[in-house]
Amino acid sequence: MKWPWQKPKAPIVEAYLAATPRRIPKKTPLAEITFAVLDAETSGFDIQRNRILSLALVEVRGLRLRVPSAESWTVFQPDAVVNKAVAVHGILPAQTALGQPEEEVLAELLPRLHGAVVVGHHIGFDKAMLNAAMQRHHKTMLRNPILDTAALAMESIEAFARTAYPGQREPTLDEVCAQCDFTPIDRHTAEGDAFTTASLFLSMCARLQRRLNRPLCAGDLPLRDG
């Protein structure tokens, strides 16, 4: 229901919301799902105070990595400073000063997310940062179902299998790479981590498919509704 005093949403946001269900039916074959693999590099880990500095996306469709679909953005953040996060990702304030405005980045990102499952390693953080940006500019949030490859690793790789130990943590991206015998691509860059995560996602799906001895469907993955 829309109240008379509510400001209409931008057409690009309305189109995104209309095209994107919060849930994928469990029997949907994975080969029919578009997966948007995302990674964000940020100025820190405080969802409200910190900002996205760099963002990258690559699609998996038909259970294949679609390299030409890759896209990345540097985000203009006027208050970016040199801090501990810079030591990890190396994105300096001088670089973000040349980036695109955050609202413009969202306008280019949203059409790429229509009807997709958003995938990432510890994707909950990336989604929370994007939701904060969406709230700032559009007073709404992302509604895509999400898949955390850390959770998928715990279901598909024996070394990370869930135990009854209360202190068990989810594996890092580097740990999953080691178990999958995969060399990370440009670690701690949004583009590199997105490609690395997409490659690991496909590797883990292949493991799971071999174990189940049948084609995978959405219900085989630890998807979370949007």
| pLDDT for res 78 | 83
Mean pLDDT calculated for residue range 119-128: 98
Q: What is the mean pLDDT of residues 133-162?
A: 96
H-helix or E-strand spanning residue 39? strand 35-42
Predicted pLDDT of residue 44 = 87
**pLDDT at site 19:** 98
Q: Domain 22-224 is of which CATH architecture?
A: 2-Layer Sandwich (3.30)
Find the DSSP H helices in the chain.
11-19, 84-89, 93-96, 102-109, 123-138, 149-156, 173-179, 190-212
Is pLDDT above 60 for 1? no
What are the residue ranges spanned by the domains of the chain? 22-224
* pLDDT tens digit sequence for 37-66: 999 999 888 999 999 999 999 999 999 999
User: What pLDDT, on the 0 to 100 scale, is given for residue 173?
Assistant: 96
On the question of pLDDT at 123 being above 60, the answer is: yes
What's residue 87's pLDDT? 66
Instruction: Give dist(CA 206, CA 173) in Å, integer.
Output: 18
The pTM is what? 0.93
- pLDDT tens across 156-170, in order? 999 999 887 787 889
What pLDDT digit, counting tens, does each position of 184-217 carry? Answer: 998 889 999 999 999 999 999 999 999 999 999 9
Average pLDDT over residues 7-32: 95
Please state, rounded to an integer, the average pLDDT across all residues of the chain.
Answer: 93
Letter string b/e over residues 138-149, b meaning 16 or more CB atoms within 10 A of that residue's CB: beeebbbbbbbb
